[in-house]
């Protein structure tokens, strides 16, 4: 849009020139800067991404006790929680920014190449989650004393029951007592006896306790 005048050289101007817009109000010649819509949109996008970052980190917080072991690594400047954040972002989240959706069934509480139990299952027995897993050992570096990690996560209440010590591959099972009604997402992870490796954890299902 250009600048125009309908009454000669001294007549009021109207239209745009560069970043300025000329107009008349109350008989006076005025001007204003054009709106910087591109910057506003960019700022909104950055804010949305920050919201998405915060939501993801908030979602992970209740699982910290198991994630710190299940995602432990030697990557420079990258701790276990940052590693877990990256895994969730790539594998268990869809959408962007504040509109992002986290899919609990796609998350894991440990990641690595340590051989996992060949099979594992769980059921709700009254007020307890009862888990069983195959204790047979196959694959390099596996041990009967590999440490089992468990987590029952009630996402809506931002509450997780995490067991991160005292359970071993050889035990073959465990019980998690529940006291709060809710929908629990159940995870099993594995850490090597010497803490040097982890296994690709398992999602064992969703259980409604009322």
**What does the pLDDT look like over 170-200, one tens digit per residue?**
999 999 999 999 999 999 999 999 999 999 9
The confidence score (pLDDT) of residue 12 equals 56
Express each pLDDT in 58-100 by its tens digit.
Answer: 999 999 999 999 999 888 778 999 999 999 999 999 998 778 8
Query: 41-209: which CATH architecture?
Result: Sandwich (2.60)
What order do you get walking across the sheet with 147-154 strand by strand?
Answer: 159-163, 147-154, 182-191, 202-209
Return the beta strands (E) in 126-201 as ranges.
128-133, 147-154, 159-163, 173-177, 182-191
The confidence score (pLDDT) of residue 75 equals 81
Kindly state the average pLDDT of the residues 113-121. 96
The confidence score (pLDDT) of residue 15 equals 57
Q: Which residue has the higher pLDDT, 133 or 1?
A: 133
The confidence score (pLDDT) of residue 13 equals 52
Kindly state the average pLDDT of the residues 163-168. 96
Domain ranges of the chain: 41-209
CB contact at 8 A, 199 and 190: yes
Q: Is 10 exposed, middle or buried (0-12, 13-18, 19+ CB in 10 A)?
A: exposed
The confidence score (pLDDT) of residue 99 equals 85
Q: Count Cβ neighbours within 10 Å for each residue of 100-133 and write b for 16 or more, e otherwise.
A: bebebeebbbbbbebbbbeebebebeeeebebeb
- The percent of residues in the chain predicted with pLDDT above 90, rounded, is 65
pLDDT at 45 over 70: no
């Amino acid at each position: 849009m250009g600048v125009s005048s309908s009454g000669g050289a001294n007549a009021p101007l109207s239209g745009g020139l560069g970043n300025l817009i000329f107009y008349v109000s109350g008989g006076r010649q005025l001007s204003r800067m054009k709106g910087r819509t591109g910057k506003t949109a960019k700022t909104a996008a950055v804010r949305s991404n920050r919201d998405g970052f915060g939501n993801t980190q908030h979602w992970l917080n209740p699982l910290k006790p198991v994630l710190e072991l299940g995602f432990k690594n030697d990557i420079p400047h990258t701790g276990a929680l940052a590693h877990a954040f990256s895994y969730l972002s790539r594998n268990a989240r869809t959408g962007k920014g504040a509109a992002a959706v986290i899919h609990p069934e796609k998350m894991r509480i440990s990641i690595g190449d340590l051989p996992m139990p060949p099979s594992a299952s769980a059921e709700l027995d009254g007020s307890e989650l009862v888990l069983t897993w195959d204790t047979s050992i196959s694959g390099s570096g596996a041990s009967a004393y590999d440490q089992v990690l468990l987590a029952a996560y009630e996402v809506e209440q931002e509450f997780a029951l995490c067991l991160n010590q005292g359970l071993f591959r050889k035990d073959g099972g465990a019980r998690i007592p529940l006291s709060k009604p809710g929908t629990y997402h159940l995870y099993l992870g594995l850490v090597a006896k010497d803490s040097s490796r982890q296994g690709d954890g398992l999602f064992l299902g969703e259980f409604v306790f009322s």
